[in-house]
Amino acid sequence: MRVLIAVARLGGIMTVTSDFTQKLYENFAENTKLRALENAVTSNGLLASLEVRGSHAANLPEFSIDLTKDPVTNQKQSGRCWMFAALNTFRHKFINDFKTEDFEFSQAYTFFWDKYEKSNWFMEQIIGDVNMDDRRLKFLLQTPQQDGGQWDMMVAIFDKYGIVPKAVYPESKASSNSRELNQYLNKLLRQDAEILRYTLEQGGDVQAVKEELLQEIFNFLAVTLGLPPQNFEFAFRNKDNEYKKFVGTPQDFYKEYVDIDLNNYVSVINAPTQDKPYNKSYTVEFLGNVVGGKEVKHLNVDMDRFKKLAIAQMQAGETVWFGCDVGQESNRTAGLLTMDAYDFKSSLDIEFTQTKAGRLDYGESLMTHAMVLAGVDLDADGNSVKWKVENSWGKDAGNQGYFVASDAWMDEYTYQIVVRKDLLSQEERAAYEAKPQVLLPWDPMGALA
């Protein structure tokens, strides 16, 4: 129901009149349907009262392509979904290649080095060409660092630091619940920003000061997360009772047990806004973690092509890292991501009509979470009907941790996938390799999962 609000003008200020508000009050009080709904919602909550039972039956967890049933992981009270999703794609390969029952790479290990590198990245931006009145500096200071990230930022960490098994570098209190860590690391970084700016103004040795500050950051991270290994031993037995042993560095471990050339993978987005024409590449100002590492870069394509690329990779036997707005039309308990999960229209006479582009332009939606596409159900013509989603919220969310996304939901709320470069057409590859358009730091395509 759309309402044109009656207003009165007082000295150039628009105000809702008391008479108009009284009319709204009386309209509601006389509406028996809304009064009944009021009782249900105030007792049970909005979404529980509006849940559509039929959406469960329409999105059963059966798929024509189903790549894994491995137990899911759990990021707990942290924003490491992008790391979990990336490491889960490696994890499935490890379990299949080495015939293990279950296995996890250490998400805490990549978390440590990402925090360390983000701190250095932040300091480099602070001592760059920005002034105190620049909105860019205020943007940097608003959140010096956070848990979230992008695929290319994860690649930069893998390239520089490798990976280790979870048994070698296990979870800590701070990695499983990162609120305190982020609060005090950001407090420290804002203080460091002031010190660095003052050093610049006084003509001091900024590099020497920055090195001292980074030592303090490193010490803080090592105390809260644990000192990460530089060399380690790891041994396991597979399903055939074969004994395997590794001795070496985290970089050696990646080469021996994962051995995927991440330069062969590209980030593909669907951003249907007027400022981002399709078949062009984009990057985002100030977005990154490792100075001198892999640049964050996206190829924008239409949604039909976007889904076909994801399907092609799964048909080749590989799961797909993807980024979405998971909180939209989401039934966490049932593990459903579907446009008909809740009925606002017939109950509240409310209809959400914004397009995907409108939601991006008006701040209603952006990428908030990364997961893994682990399967897809195709119709007789090879078109997607629903998608199997591996989450990282533990086995109690959804169906043993797996979700079902309807095809319509994917169209509206999925923004990014990572696929092999050889799946791109020649024209798409050329567009990706071209010099990217630089988006402003606060562009929605700079959102961190």
Question: Domain map of the chain by residue range?
Answer: 7-54, 65-446
Cβ(105)–Cβ(163) below 8 Å: yes
Q: Which residues contact 194 (CB under 8 A, 6 or more apart)?
A: none
d(CA 195, CA 192): 5
Computed over every residue of the chain, the mean pLDDT equals 95
- What is the mean predicted confidence (pLDDT) over 241-253? 97
CA-to-CA separations, 445 to 202, 272, 419, 436, in angstroms, rounded: 37, 11, 18, 13
CATH 3.90.70.10 fits 65-446, yes or no: yes
189 pLDDT tier (thresholds 50, 70, 90) = very high
Rg, C-alpha atoms of the chain:
25
Q: Say yes or no to pLDDT of 5 above 70.
A: no
- What is the mean predicted confidence (pLDDT) over 108-122? 98
Query: According to the model, what pLDDT value does residue 387 have?
Result: 98
d(CA 92, CA 87): 9
Query: According to the model, what pLDDT value does residue 129 have?
Result: 77
Listed in sequence order, the DSSP H helices in 143-271 are 151-161, 173-176, 179-201, 206-225, 250-257
Query: According to the model, what pLDDT value does residue 8 have?
Result: 56
Residue 320: left if φ>0, alpha if ψ -120 to 50, beta else—which one?
beta
- What is the mean predicted confidence (pLDDT) over 143-172? 98
Q: Say yes or no to pLDDT of 105 above 50.
A: yes
Residue 70, both tokens: 């491995």
343 pLDDT tier (thresholds 50, 70, 90) = very high
Cβ(273)–Cβ(360) below 8 Å: yes
Per-residue pLDDT tens for 57-86?
889 999 999 999 999 999 999 999 999 999
User: Which has the closest alpha carbon to 195: 210, 214, 215?
Assistant: 210
7 pLDDT tier (thresholds 50, 70, 90) = low
Return the residue matching tokens 């695929």: 151
Query: According to the model, what pLDDT value does residue 1 have?
Result: 44
Cβ(107)–Cβ(167) below 8 Å: no
Q: What percent of the chain has pLDDT over 90?
A: 93
Cβ(260)–Cβ(241) below 8 Å: no
According to DSSP, the β-strands at 265-269 and 298-300 are parallel
Q: Say yes or no to pLDDT of 106 above 90.
A: yes
b (16+ CB within 10 A) / e for 358-369: ebbeeeebbbbb
H or E element in which residue 395 lies: none
According to DSSP, the β-strands at 336-337 and 369-378 are unpaired
Cβ(161)–Cβ(250) below 8 Å: yes
CA dihedral 410, 414, 419, 424 (to 10 degrees): 80
**Among 134-138, 172-176, 203-207, 411-415, the least confident range:** 134-138
**Among 129-138, 150-159, 365-374, the least confident range:** 129-138
Positions marked active-site: 81, 369, 391
| Number of Cβ within a 10 Å radius of residue 279 | 16
Q: Say yes or no to pLDDT of 3 above 60.
A: no
Cβ(301)–Cβ(268) below 8 Å: yes
Give the E-state strand segments of 61-129 in sequence order. 65-66
Per-residue pLDDT tens for 352-409?
999 999 999 999 999 999 999 999 999 999 999 999 999 999 999 999 999 999 999 9
Q: Say yes or no to pLDDT of 234 above 60.
A: yes
The greatest distance separating any two alpha carbons of the chain, rounded to the nearest whole angstrom, comes to: 83
Query: According to the model, what pLDDT value does residue 133 have?
Result: 76
Per-residue pLDDT tens for 31-54?
999 999 999 999 999 999 999 999
